[in-house]
Amino acid sequence: MRIKNKNRIRVIGKLIRIYREEKRHNTQNEYTLLRFCDGICTINTLKRIESGECSRSDEVYDELLAKLKLRFDYFPEVDTAVEMMMEPLYEAIEYFDLEGIGRICDKILNLLERVRNYVYYSELYNIFKNLRQYYIDDLTISTGIALRYESLLGIMPPIYSIILKFLIMTRKSIDALDDPNIYNTAIKKLEMINEKCLFLQFFVLKYYITTNQYISLMQLLNKLEMIFLSKENYIRLIDLYNYYFMLYTVIEHGLRDEYIQKVDNIAKSEKIPNYKLSEIYSNIASNLIFEKNYKRALEFFEKMLRYKEVPHITEIIYMASCQSHLELPIDIPDLTPDLLAEYSIVLQYTGIDFAMTALFTVIFVEQWLHTVNHLPAYIAAFAILISIVVFGFDNFLLPALLLLVIFLLIFEKNVERRKEERS
């Protein structure tokens, strides 16, 4: 055989099974076992190949892969070059070095570009492309790709398992917004708790805090803090201190100020990217809002604004809410057309129009049925109507949201006063 590496042959055989089954599930009947191997080999031979056994004939692989529009070959020099860059890539990820991540991914993708039409290398190309997109373009893989990568975990060489697990968990974090069990199940299925890679441990931290495993959370936080301090990895340290803050928010309020101070000290003394500092301060402020500590929440939103030119729409709403509760003038960042064009607020969710329409409907009905005072419902209906008239049905969503917030802030105190009178 022209490919002497038997491990690679086994990997290719298992990949053939994945590709064939994916197409078969898409109702392409020519990819059943019987029809796929017709004229090439027997069904039993195909089964053995797909289970990882090595066929003695290159032609069998050539013909099977041709049906998948892929080619069959082995490029050891490419493998070696990519593998040599894995350690510096993982180090760049550990230190959240976006420039380094982008540079290394670009080098790897350039190497893989000329062989991306060959089986196995096509998978590597997509893996590193998805990794680059996540860090540089802020794009997360789809649920379908995450499932594909789960199937690759036991097939691709172990050196790539860290990237695969990382990409899978970024997707699971989003899917868990609809069902938290998705995330918890993935943590167990991927054996993340036993994963030694440091930056993968942040997924475990999230798992512990969402499942109220505070002792395990504390132990892992203490362990990681010692490691990151010894490595002087300050960007990861402030992520840890954010988790400490959330932990002590639950178990001991008095201790969390220590970690807020640690974040402030790092922000003053170390070169931390603005987006990371704004993210941390926004998280702290959001937690304080849920405690109705509006004065302090507003202080941290103001810190956030030092590092973020245009906040997210939810942050603007939170800031306005704090100012309203504190009886302060509503003073939120001005979203001018020029700023929006330069720092656009992007909602990357399929079916957002339907979802938000449904949300409006549910809130309206719930408010009408379960409250005596229907003023908020009237305000919502009025805001939607005005926005549709002024901006049109295709563009009413964001103006309606902003108009609704303004109206509710104006009438909030009056509504609360009436509720108190009734009680």
Q: Phi-psi category of 272—alpha, beta or left, where left has phi over 0 and alpha has psi -120 to 50?
A: beta
Q: CA–CA separation, 145 vs 163, rounded Å?
A: 13
Cα 37 versus chain centre, distance? 39
Q: Is the pLDDT of residue 1 over 70?
A: no
Q: CA–CA separation, 334 vs 47, rounded Å?
A: 63
- Could you give the C-alpha distances from 291 to 69, 285, 286, 287, 326, in angstroms and in order? 57, 10, 9, 7, 14
Q: What angle do CA 340, 140, 91 make, to 5 degrees?
A: 105
Q: What angle do CA 294, 295, 300 make, to 5 degrees?
A: 90
Q: What does the DSSP assignment read for 73-102? A: ---HHHHHHHHHTHHHHHHHHHTT-HHHHH
> Tell me, what's the pLDDT at 140?
94
Q: Residue 422: which pLDDT band, with cuts at 50, 70 and 90?
A: low
Residues 310 and 345: beta-carbon distance below 8 Å:
yes
Q: Is the pLDDT of residue 156 over 80?
A: yes
Q: CA–CA separation, 219 vs 229, rounded Å?
A: 16
Q: Is the pLDDT of residue 221 over 50?
A: yes
Q: CA–CA separation, 245 vs 253, rounded Å?
A: 9
> Tell me, what's the pLDDT at 313?
75
pLDDT digits (tens, 9 = 90+) for 96-153: 999 999 999 999 999 999 999 999 999 999 999 999 999 999 899 999 999 999 999 9
- The single residue listed with the structure tokens 């849920």 is 290
> Tell me, what's the pLDDT at 351?
42
Sequence letter at residue 202: F
> Tell me, what's the pLDDT at 207?
96
Q: CA–CA separation, 166 vs 186, rounded Å?
A: 11
Average pLDDT over the chain, rounded to whole? 85
> Tell me, what's the pLDDT at 345?
41
pLDDT digits (tens, 9 = 90+) for 246-299: 999 888 888 889 999 999 999 999 989 888 899 899 999 988 988 889 999 999
- The closest alpha carbon to 197, from 245, 160, 222, belongs to 160
Sequence letter at residue 2: R
Q: Where are the domains of the chain?
A: 6-66, 273-344, 355-422
Interval 163-182 mean pLDDT = 93
> Tell me, what's the pLDDT at 308?
85
Higher pLDDT, 25 or 27: 25
Higher pLDDT, 28 or 318: 318
- The closest alpha carbon to 377, from 358, 389, 360, 355, belongs to 360
Predicted TM-score (pTM) above 0.85: no
CA-atom Rg of the chain in angstroms: 27
| Bridge partner residues of 71 (DSSP) | 118
Tokens, residue 296: 């302090």
Q: What does the DSSP assignment read for 295-314? A: HHHHHHHHHHHTT-SS--HH
pLDDT digits (tens, 9 = 90+) for 30-56: 889 989 999 999 999 999 999 999 888
Tokens, residue 383: 């805001």
Residue percentage of the chain with pLDDT more than 70: 82
Q: Is the pLDDT of residue 336 over 60?
A: no
Residues 278 and 308: beta-carbon distance below 8 Å:
yes
> Tell me, what's the pLDDT at 368?
55
> Tell me, what's the pLDDT at 186?
96
Q: Residue 406: which pLDDT band, with cuts at 50, 70 and 90?
A: confident
- The closest alpha carbon to 239, from 221, 216, 215, 257, belongs to 221
> Tell me, what's the pLDDT at 381?
72
Sequence letter at residue 97: D
Q: Is the pLDDT of residue 360 over 60?
A: no
Tokens, residue 413: 């105190």
